[in-house]
Amino acid sequence: AYRIRGHLVADLDPLGMRDQTPHPELDPRTYGFSEADMDRPIFIDNVLGLQIASMRQIVEIVSRTYCGTFALQYMHISNPEEAAWLKERIEGYGKEIAFTREGRKAILNKMVEAEGFEKFLHVKYMGTKRFGLDGGESLIPAMEQIIKRGGALGVRDIIIGMPHRGRLSVLANVMAKPYRAIFNEFQGGSFKPEDVDGSGDVKYHLGASSDREFDGNTVHLSLTANPSHLEAVNPVVLGKARAKQDQNNDKDRTTVLPILLHGDAAFAGQGVVAECFQLSGIRGHRTGGTMHIVVNNQIGFTTAPHFSRTSPYPTDIALMVEAPIFHVNGDDPEAVVHAAKVATEFRQKFHKDVVLDIFCYRR
């Protein structure tokens, strides 16, 4: 029951606006267990990494696994190998989210960079449209983790497509675009060479590319230029990734990873998202799995979720391809980074789309 429904009562919303009604299916009393039965040892044959456990211990472990700030929705996956791998990866005794001191420092550094960048822009260029990542800063360490873990698992090229929310932060803190160049654009300068005619585009439409190195693996990052039309960049990114795979003769499709970032309202509302999912497994179009990251700030421009979609989650569109969906609380950067790591491993192993749903807010 926890595997199927645990995510519905998980602690995902940093604002506490989600309906937290307890689910009867997750309550041992529904199945006839009384308080007296809670501490009775039960033989569970190594299911959660334990031979014998009390009902209280079992509930504690599955609650932590499926109802914390990290909640995996995967019981819709019909492939037993994929479902078993995910279960094995996150469920059980000793599988808590644990980072080393260095890992925590790295996450904190990236959070401070992301927040400091937004605060500086707010003070220096007050009132300028910049579509800040305020409230969703944990996206930045998550992107770092995908590049780092992906690089270790054989990724050499990452193609990114994203809307304007958080774009400048990604350019500066992930793509390592010089701050100087970004501030120059804020002051009306142009990114284009002098000999090109025509006027510049708005700063959150520009593409970029760079090389990043982690643990001796160099990964080339390419951020695709995009229009204001949300999600229109998706097929461009997928086509570019596919072309690079064909060019490199990458039959396994493990060296090129497309990452698409989405807003919650656009991900649920734009038809091109469903079209791209539908093409994701077709022989002529597959790219070996796309990493979808939904910056779920629970509002679409000014529209509340219950006025913009019928489904409970914006990510429910991904159920059609049986993609695993990692719901995480954006105020718990460790959970977000852990989810990004597991999602990257899943994509590299099974070559399927994965979705990371970061619940955050717009500050």
Sketch the domain layout of the chain as residue ranges.
Answer: 2-69, 101-190+201-359
Using one digit for the tens of pLDDT, what is the confidence trace for 266-299?
999 999 999 999 999 999 999 999 999 999 888 8
Per the prediction, the chain carries an average pLDDT of: 88
- Report which residue type is found at 234: N
What whole-number distance in Å separates Cα of residue 316 and Cα of residue 325? 9
Share of the chain above pLDDT 70, in %: 95
| Distance separating alpha carbons of residues 31 and 52, to the nearest angstrom | 19
H or E element that contains 54: strand 52-54
Q: What pLDDT score was predicted for residue 25?
A: 82
Residue in this structure with the two tokens 């260029």, named with its chain if needed:
125
Measured distance CA(273)–CA(197) in Å, rounded? 34
Residue 104: HSE in the Cβ half-sphere, 13 Å Cα cutoff: 6
User: Reduced to 3 states, what is the DSSP secondary structure of residue 65?
Assistant: helix
Residue with the bigger pLDDT between 148 and 8: it is 148
pLDDT single digits (tens) 108-151? 999 999 999 989 988 888 877 778 888 889 999 999 999 999 99
DSSP string, 155-221: --EEEEE--STTHHHHHHHTS---HHHHHHHHTT--SS-TTS-SPPPPGGG--EEEEEEETTEEEEE
User: What's the half-sphere exposure (Cβ side, CA atoms, 13 Å) at 183?
Assistant: 11
Q: What is the CATH number of domain 101-190+201-359?
A: 3.40.50.970
3-class DSSP state for residue 323?
A: coil
| Same fold across 2-69 and 101-190+201-359 | no
How far is CA 136 from its chain centroid?
A: 11
| 22-79 pLDDT, tens digit each | 888 888 888 888 888 888 888 888 888 888 888 888 888 888 888 889 999 999 999 9
Q: Are 234 and 272 in contact (CB under 8 A)?
A: yes
For 306-345, b/e burial (b = at least 16 CB within 10 A) is eebbeeebbbbbbbebbbbbbbbbbbbbbbbbbbbbbbbb
* Separation of alpha carbons 112 and 22, rounded Å: 36
Q: Would strands 157-161 and 291-296 be described as parallel, antiparallel, or unpaired? A: unpaired
SS3 82: helix
% residues pLDDT > 90 (the chain): 49
Q: Which CATH class is domain 2-69?
A: mainly alpha
**pLDDT greater than 90 at residue 220:** yes
pLDDT tens for 81-109 read: 999 999 989 887 778 888 989 999 999 99
Say how far apart CA 247 and CA 363 lie, in whole Å: 43
Is residue 194 very low, low, confident or very high in pLDDT (cuts 50, 70, 90)? low
Q: How far is CA 127 from the centre of its chain?
A: 29
